[in-house]
Amino acid sequence: MEGQDRARSEVTRVVTAASDSPVAGDPSAVEDWLRRLCLAVLEDALQSLGSHGRRQREAWVWVRSDAEYCFSFVWVCAVLHLDADAVRKQFLL
């Protein structure tokens, strides 16, 4: 959970600090935009898990990874205020 909080605050700091951002200076707009983007990434992963072949394999690698880089599974879950392990368990059902 600490890693998710750290990732969330880092994401907000970086995105808010971007002077060329169309929503620079409005943290709530940045957070809303970022949440919608992360939700789309997570939805795409869920669809990919139901597919076959390379895309499915890549989606499983992404979901199982504990890496904390931009748009990693852990990072996306942190932005969405989701527990990454709980989401993984749901994907495995």
pLDDT in tens, 14-61: 445 444 555 556 778 878 999 999 999 999 999 999 999 999 999 999
pLDDT recorded at residue 28: 83
Cβ atoms 35, 79 nearer than 8 A: yes
What's the whole-model pTM score? 0.69
Q: What are phi and psi of 76, to 5 degrees?
A: -60, -45
Contacts 24+ apart (CB under 8 A), 66-75: 68/3, 68/6, 68/7, 70/11, 71/38, 71/41, 73/45, 74/3, 74/4, 74/7, 75/7, 75/11
- Write the burial class of residue 37 (CB in 10 Å: 0-12 exposed, 13-18 middle, 19+ buried): middle
Phi then psi for 19, rounded to 5 degrees? -70, -20
